Structure 1
Amino acid sequence: MRNKFVIIVMLLCGLAVNVLGQEEKSRLSGFTGSPVAGTRLEIQYDPTGGPLVGKEAITGVAYMYNDYCWEVADVDLSEYKGIWYGNFYVPRNCAFVAFKFVPKDVNDMGVADNNDDKGFMWVTLDQNGQQLPGGRLAWAIFRKPSLGKGVMGYFNQYDISDEAVEMWMYKELEYFPQNMPKMFDCFMAMVKLRSGDQYSDAARRYITQFLSIPGLGEQQYLWARDLYRFELRDTEKADSLEQMILANYPHGAAARFKTFKTIEQMPLDDVKLDSTRKFLADFPISEWRKHPEQGQHAFIYYSTFRVLEEALFAKHDYEGFASWFDQMNFQTLNEVYRWNIFRMFKLKLSPDEVIYPLSTAMIEEMMKKQDDLSFMEDVRYTPGQAREIARRQLDDKLTSHILLLTRMEKYEETLPYFENLSKEGLYSNSDLNEAYIQILEKTGNRSKIFSVLEECVRENVVTPAMLEMLKKVYTEKYGKSEGFEEYVQSLKSMKELEEMKKEVKAGLTNVAVEPFVLESMTGKKVNSKDWKGKIVVLDFWATWCGPCKMAFPGMQMAVDKYAKDKEVEFYFIATQESGDKYKQKIKEYFAKNDFTFNVLYDNYNEKSQSANVVFSRFAKMFNDSGIPRKVILKDGVMRYTSGGYCGSPSKLADEISYVIELLKAEK
């Protein structure tokens, strides 16, 4: 019956070529011909002429089609004289492999080298020189992104013809007809592509033939069910198949998904919570992890735990909340921590004494699971990229936990957690750095303070209080304060400073600004026409904007630096505020904080019912209405603007200072 089905669907094609891959000169070299499965490839990558020229660290990504499933792996590279070298083991069941090269920094993966959108890709051979099962199919679906069966995001525009896809699929069936059950979803996608108005009749015929093949599994029946339900709109046949699937696989992917969707629609009450607990008992995540490819239902458990834990926390069932930690993977723990623990800690919505034991237990669980690769999300990220994302998230959560312990004055308890921070995470947060100094003082480690302060300056993540403390320690150590500014500058990375200067220069503008008049916090009218001959720094912020206020220490450093400079002025414009009490909130905020700012109120906009008249004008200039937003004017002309907050007070102060000095140096 199986051969009969294949005869029905096959078209006669010419002989298969022996080598499917690049033969022209390429930035990727080190091997020739088709890769052989079960052997190691020597990789040489020369970025010259490609998009990765000038990148400090480059890594490779390998996409493999192994036994009709896509997998992804890292290709570690090391540089020698401008060429990046590495090697890659091709698995024995790998029928196809494609490479791309990206910056090693996961925050810089928007650029990649895929051979100028032609791809670095090959169909592999076995030890006898024959193509493996799946090779011809992968050669078709990988190069046809619009079919939705390959690796999404590899190509930008490349897409082979429909005829080519059809040819290579039939080639696959010609050589491996017994593997139709593994590729039926791809085959039917091609049928839809090529059948046009005849698709409905063709699909019904092929599904009938397919279901007659003995030994099909749940996934194959699910493909057929979905074709009936979503492609052919045949509810009767789809429901009939689903009933059969549920009867034969009561704890399978279909039953899991159906139960999940039923619970998802329930109102959030005790009935839903009981149903969720029963779901996790009937469909234990431990069983799914044995066969994660069945239904690819990681999102079900992620969503289930997220909703369950939020509800338990809201009900103050902290024992129940903690009881599920051991079942969650790192990605889920990270999200549950963010939404429940971090939010409560940051906004002070729950007592620290309540948060503390839960935060401790979650952090311990996350440290154990940081290498579980739960951030891979199928083939979206490589194992190395998934570990790097997890590392950064763990740094973030460890920082929150340390700050919680510091606020509770549990100083000794914080010290082991510093050892679990990565090198990149140790000095990257200004609040953490300030807390670290406090912890060292409270735990009798004053001798370490000077070196820690120096490291913070090297990373350029320093608060005004830390800078003042460093100056005090410096004066005590050297008996004088002279030369302190030069000393601080000598600690900073010249490379990072040069990169910052390069970005600032690239962001300089020259846009005339319409004059405006605003009211100050003291009731005085401030007219921008009076700023002629001056450099004026405007900081647009709001009382409800957390990042705006987080940036204030850095802005205070800049304000202090130019406090005696009559050519430079700073104004902090409260914008996007509404209601009749925001001015009082602003006054109360500055009464509680030691910022020496000139505060202005944006003018009220009747149409938007918000105080945003002046900012709206500026927003049109840079096509962005987000805050915080820094704007620097000279002689009434906008010369520089930047949005957001980098997280470092000292970096922000350096940025603002450099722009001011550039503008002052102009003739």
Structure 2
Amino acid sequence: MDKKRINLKNMNLKTITLAIPLLLLGSQASFGQLAAKKGITQEELYKHLNGLFQQGTAASKAEVLKEADYLAKSKKEEDQLLAGRIYTGLEKNDKAEAIKKSISKKFPKGITARNEAFGNLFEKNELTAAQAEAEYIRLSKQFPESSYDEKNRGIYGFALGVVAQQFAKEKNLEKVNSYLDQLKSTANYTNAIFAIGRELNQQKEYAFAQKILEPVYLNLSQQKSEGQKGNTGRQYQGGISLQYAEALLGNQQVDKALEILAKVQQESPSETATIAYAKALEAKGKSLDAFQLLESEVIKNGKEPKIMAELLPLYRKLNNSLSDTTNYLKGLNSRIDEMLVSKLQGEMVKKEAAQFSLVDRSGKEVSLASMKGKVVVLDFWATWCGPCKMSFPGMQAAVNKYANDPDVAFLFINTWQKEENYKELVNNFINENKYSFHVLFDEMKDRDKSVVTAYGVKGIPTKVIIDKEGFIRFQSSGGGADVEKIVHEISTKIELAKKG
């Protein structure tokens, strides 16, 4: 994303992989060029730095750089971490990387070194529960929890949850119970209950899963009904509700599960919630209701594989084990098309597309003006963007579909690359994956002159459909991996744009 205005608090959260806050506003400390002012607080420093970033001038950036250089020389780990985040914001990637590489060695008992060590524990999925427990005990001795401020201790509760989940996987309920007792006093308890409950359900330990999930579910429901706000684990309410309902179903308490799932479906609809609700309806003997629920979801959002895997068996069951679903699928496709066209027609806009001229991989200059008379599909992307790359098989299928249509052109605009050798990276990526994309290189250094800025793009991937007269008709961000869905949506947008 374009970070001309950078919020350092957000930078902190994004750059600490284990989401353990390293800096607490309000703590007393002296920093950077503000050190001469005695009693400066970290809150004041953040305000000062954010103000400089928001100015976006060469002078303000130079001032921020001075602060970062001073912090980078500090003997405090927190100062150096902040310097690294500032360097990242200023796109001084070499300096940021230098801090990242050296900080664990400089502070072998520091937060970074500790987080990296615990991170290795979290990544070792092949460990048995006993091995994970032994590793946790070893790390707790190497990095005693009492050595860190209260605000930096969250990782220990998270680790306890990981070990408990491993014991749940091995159906060692006594150990699970023991770890849950230790977790109750931590901020990680709700998160741990969600993960452990899910594992217990997978192991069909429904009675124990219901026992641990029920009080958390009831507590979260009460918080919601009372309108409580704050960090109380509410973000897990949907997931806890689904796990609790699954445990209830496993214990044959269908009516109670249905009540919960109906509420989740209404308040927080999702693919997972829909499937769970359909299964509960079927368990209650309401197969037709389950079928209609799934079918309406497919018509509204397309043929998601997991939904279809539940829908077609139900169709066969309701039609006396009919094996041939050809005619049904044909009719379903028509209804999906009608719904999508209606939806997209409501999303159509008509605004003049910003003109541009960029160089492609062969060095040839390509302008939007030269595409007049064609429907043009722009796809803004970068080599570091996971969702961009995830959608590329679908985009390749769309390119293939329109390969012989002279009225349609696809342009893949590579943007927001920070590497000096970005063209080499792009060429290698395209060649290795054998994509036939027509790639153009955006302006990388001066964001104000970039095409991505001219089109008001806030995040990538972003796809823009421009009609034959040069008007933007569709602009949307986000990616997906469903090839059929991508092709269907892009094709529908193209055909609507052709009609003007």
Shorter-chain TM-score above 0.5: no
Which TM class, normalised by the smaller chain length?
0.3 to 0.5
Higher strand share: 1
Determine which structure has more spread, i.e. the larger CA radius of gyration.
Answer: 1
Structure 1 length normalisation: TM-score? 0.36
Higher helix share: 2
